[in-house]
């Protein structure tokens, strides 16, 4: 009986051995391939916009890059830090600063900031009421300049210092008056409905043309510009 049991036990052992599956072991080459997997790519930072045009409007200033995208803007009632940040993007830090004392209740005190390119920014200070309730919280003036700058300064109509009187007259100025440098023509009124032949009770862009017919100064807003 014992001789019959032993062969049966041996057969069962061999059967169990044949059914068991060996545990796979990773080969060295597979481990190396896993450790050298390509890392995920990092994002490339966007290039800084290149300022190209500063447009002086009757209500404020806009700055555009070389692609024609607006990259900064401020209105006359905006606080000085906002305006200065836009102008510094265009021209760098101011080359000069100044102070214009007011005349009592008639005009406010103004701080001035002059930049390369001939642009001067005026901002009212020491006001006794909110800036948006003051008739001339800030302004800009563009004068002739020999500075080598890459930013064009122009009006929405394309007028620039160094342009011609013919370009100004082609825009049908709403009014004009004498100026110490020649004649100042008022274009692009904020509210054309209240401008008459002898009245300029709304802000415009002032274009100064000298006796030779050359644009020598641009002011906005005008006539509420501090100068």
Q: Confirm whether 66 is domain-assigned.
A: yes
Contact 123, 151 (CB under 8 A): no
Q: Confirm whether 44 is domain-assigned.
A: no
Per residue in 54-84, pLDDT (tens digit) is 999 999 999 999 999 999 999 999 999 999 9
Phi-psi region of 224 (alpha: psi -120 to 50; beta: other; left: phi over 0): alpha
Q: Confirm whether 218 is domain-assigned.
A: yes
The pTM of the full predicted model, rounded to 2 decimals, is 0.78
Q: Confirm whether 81 is domain-assigned.
A: yes
Residues 6+ apart with CB under 8 A from 68: none
Domain that holds residue 183: 51-222
Q: Which residue has the tokens 């004009």?
A: 176
Q: Confirm whether 59 is domain-assigned.
A: yes
Q: How confident is the prediction for the chain on average, in pLDDT? A: 85
What's phi and psi for 131, nearest 5 deg? Answer: -60, -40
Q: Confirm whether 180 is domain-assigned.
A: yes
CA 73/CA 83 separation, integer angstroms: 7
What is the SS3 assignment for 46? coil
Per residue in 150-209, pLDDT (tens digit) is 999 999 999 999 999 999 999 999 999 999 999 999 999 998 888 765 555 789 999 999
Q: How confident is the model at residue 13 (pLDDT cuts 50, 70, 90)?
A: very low
Split into its structural domains, the chain has a count of 1
Q: Confirm whether 84 is domain-assigned.
A: yes
Burial class (CB in 10 A: 0-12, 13-18, 19+), 31: exposed
- Whether a cis peptide bond, with omega within 30° of 0, leads into 15 is no
**Residue 68 CA to its chain's centroid (Å):** 11
Per residue in 89-124, pLDDT (tens digit) is 999 999 999 999 998 767 899 999 999 999 999 999
How much is the pLDDT for 107? 83
Q: Confirm whether 163 is domain-assigned.
A: yes
Per residue in 20-38, pLDDT (tens digit) is 555 555 555 555 455 555 6
Any idea of the CA torsion for 67, 142, 181, 134, to the nearest 10 degrees? Answer: 120
Phi-psi region of 99 (alpha: psi -120 to 50; beta: other; left: phi over 0): beta
How much is the pLDDT for 128? 87
CA 138/CA 60 separation, integer angstroms: 9
């Amino acid at each position: 009986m014992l001789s019959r049991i032993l062969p049966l036990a041996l057969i069962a052992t061999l059967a169990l051995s044949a059914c068991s599956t060996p545990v796979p072991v990773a080969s060295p080459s597979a481990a190396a391939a896993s450790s050298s997997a390509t890392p995920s790519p990092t994002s490339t930072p966007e290039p800084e916009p290149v300022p190209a045009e500063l447009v002086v409007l009757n209500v404020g200033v806009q700055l555009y890059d070389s692609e024609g995208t607006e990259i900064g803007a401020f209105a006359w009632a905006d606080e000085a830090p906002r305006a200065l940040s836009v102008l510094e993007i265009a021209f760098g830090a101011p080359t000069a600063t100044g102070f214009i004392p007011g005349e009592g209740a008639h005009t406010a005190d103004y701080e001035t900031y002059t930049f390369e390119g001939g642009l001067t920014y005026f901002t009212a200070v020491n006001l006794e009421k909110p800036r948006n309730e003051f008739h001339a919280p800030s302004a800009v003036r563009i004068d002739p300049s020999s500075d080598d700058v890459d930013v064009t300064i122009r009006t929405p109509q394309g007028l620039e210092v160094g342009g011609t009187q013919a370009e100004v007259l082609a825009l049908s100025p709403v009014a004009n008056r004498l100026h110490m440098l020649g004649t100042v023509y008022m274009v692009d009124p904020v509210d054309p409905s209240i401008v008459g032949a002898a009245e300029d009770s709304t802000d415009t862009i002032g274009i100064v043309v000298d006796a030779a017919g050359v644009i020598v100064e641009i002011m906005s807003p005008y006539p509420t510009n501090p100068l």
